[in-house]
Amino acid sequence: MSVVGSSLSGEQERKLLSLFNNVRLHLLYKASVHGYMHQAFHNRCDGQGPTILVAYNKTGFIFGGYITTVQQLPGNSYIFEPEEMHGNDLQLTECEVYRVEQRGDILEKPWRNINWEGFSTKQRLMDYIQNYKPEVNSVVQARVLLVGPVGAGKSSFFNSINSVFKGHVTGPANSGSAGTSLTTQFRTYNIKAGQDRSALPLVLCDTMGLEEGLGAGLDIDDITSVLKGHIQDRYQFNPSTSIQSDSSFFCKSPSLKDRIHCVVYVLDACKISLISAKMVDKFTAIRKIVNKQGVPLLVLLTKVDEACPLVKEDLTNIYISHYIEKMIREVSLCIGVSQSCVVPVKNYSREFELDVNTDILLLSAVVQMLRYTDDYFDDLYQAGDQRPETPDS
């Protein structure tokens, strides 16, 4: 693969860098390579954060401008002297756009260790998941509940894990964008793996998205029923009322295998700073219910690719990205969990083919879910209590 090089000389680059404080430049777009088209420019430069545009003309002038976001372009104007700026020559010989990266954007040491050794790591994680056995004889599958705001990536997470075990990207669970939750039913998904396509010892339970308002989105009382194992697959959630005990989807006497063993809050990394106080209140209310049932809680931070350009460019930057590390700290404060409970992932959203690093991150998240499930069973036995036999406690 050929690397696209800058047209700036070393001296010119140093001069440009001296206008900033401790930054480095990353070439995103070069017109002679990527094309002079509007679309090519926006495809490569939108959503990249602060950028600098450098234009070269026939007369030998090098000029340009700095903006914090490409979307900011229309409407912004400043006064300059054309003769001084570009010698009245707008016939460009080249045009480049660089992302301006603060040197502090990248941490010197990863804040969490992960082995990016490609297929061997992926296989090891898949083997761990396939061979997982809950520590209780009466239970063969860990039951993990995904809850979170509308559009956070709950259904996409199931689709992504299913894809990893299928060998290519699939999309059985409805995922996409709508004003309200696209998922309206309670779904309990099995994932098939291995040559005999047997079910993994894991069931991912997908729910309707949470919404701020009362009577909108997933009903909090329904979460209690799901946790206790009362709600069955394909129950149609009703935001204005919780499930009734005479519903055909209501299981009157669930056992330990029907209960939820691990709860996962799914949050969109791009929207952490936008989470409203009302949504935080909802999280707190759910957390109380989850704690009361003695179920461990994990937080899945999705869309890390959209949140951080360094991660979008290369997923293995995730644990050296200063921005993602900051995000994890914010999430842990907002939800009130330790940072080790927050797991970042990138779901498959538009790809056809699998990518090994995406898979490693996704599978690592599942391994955490299984470890937390073990904690749930450990806790049951250590407490010596009879919770499994008395699901209504």
Ligand X SMILES: Nc1nc2c(ncn2[C@@H]2O[C@H](COP(=O)(O)OP(=O)(O)OP(=O)(O)O)[C@@H](O)[C@H]2O)c(=O)[nH]1
- Pairing type for strands 262-268 and 342-344 reads unpaired
For residue 347, the partner it binds in ligand X, Mg ion, none, with Cβ less than 5 to 8 A by kind, is ligand X
Interface with ligand X: number of residues (CB under 6 A):
23
Task: Kindly tell me which of 154 and 346 has the beta carbon lying closer to Mg ion.
Answer: 154
Choose the stretch contacting ligand X; rule: CB under 6 A; options: 153-161, 188-196, 256-264, 330-338: 153-161
Rg (CA), the chain: 25
For the CB of residue 175, give the shortest distance to ligand X in the complex, in Å.
Answer: 3
* Binding flag, residue 155, ligand X (CB under 6 A): yes
Residue 279: which residues within 8 A CB-CB, separation 6 or more?
149, 210, 212
Residue of the chain from 51, 183, 293, 364 that contacts ligand X (CB under 6 A): 183
* Binding flag, residue 150, ligand X (CB under 6 A): yes
The widest CA-to-CA distance across the chain, in whole angstroms, is 84
Other C-beta atoms closer than 10 Å to the C-beta of 10 total: 8
* Binding flag, residue 188, Mg ion (CB under 5 A): no
* Binding flag, residue 223, ligand X (CB under 6 A): no
Does residue 365 contact residue 343 with C-beta atoms inside 8 Å? Answer: yes
Choose the stretch contacting Mg ion; rule: CB under 5 A; options: 62-70, 149-157, 275-283, 336-344: 149-157
Q: Which residue is nearest to ligand X (CB)?
A: 209
* Binding flag, residue 358, ligand X (CB under 6 A): no
Residue 313: which residues within 8 A CB-CB, separation 6 or more?
none
Residue of the chain from 57, 121, 155, 302 that contacts Mg ion (CB under 5 A): 155
Distance CA 72, CA 251 (A): 54
* Binding flag, residue 302, ligand X (CB under 6 A): yes
Question: Of 343, 359, 335, 327, nearest to 286 (Cα)?
Answer: 335
Q: Which residue has the tokens 């050296």?
A: 320
For the CB of residue 181, give the shortest distance to Mg ion in the complex, in Å.
Answer: 6
**DSSP letter at 209?**
P
**DSSP letter at 185?**
B
Task: Kindly tell me which of 315 and 380 has the beta carbon lying closer to ligand X.
Answer: 315
Residue of the chain from 51, 163, 183, 302 that contacts Mg ion (CB under 5 A): 183
Distance CA 208, CA 79 (A): 52
For the CB of residue 305, give the shortest distance to ligand X in the complex, in Å.
Answer: 5
* Binding flag, residue 209, ligand X (CB under 6 A): yes
Distance, CA of 356 to chain centre? 16
Does residue 377 contact residue 261 with C-beta atoms inside 8 Å? Answer: yes
Q: Under the rule (CB under 6 A), what is the footprint of ligand X?
A: 148, 150-156, 175-177, 181-183, 209, 266, 302-303, 305-306, 346-347, 349
Q: Under the rule (CB under 5 A), what is the footprint of Mg ion?
A: 154-155, 183
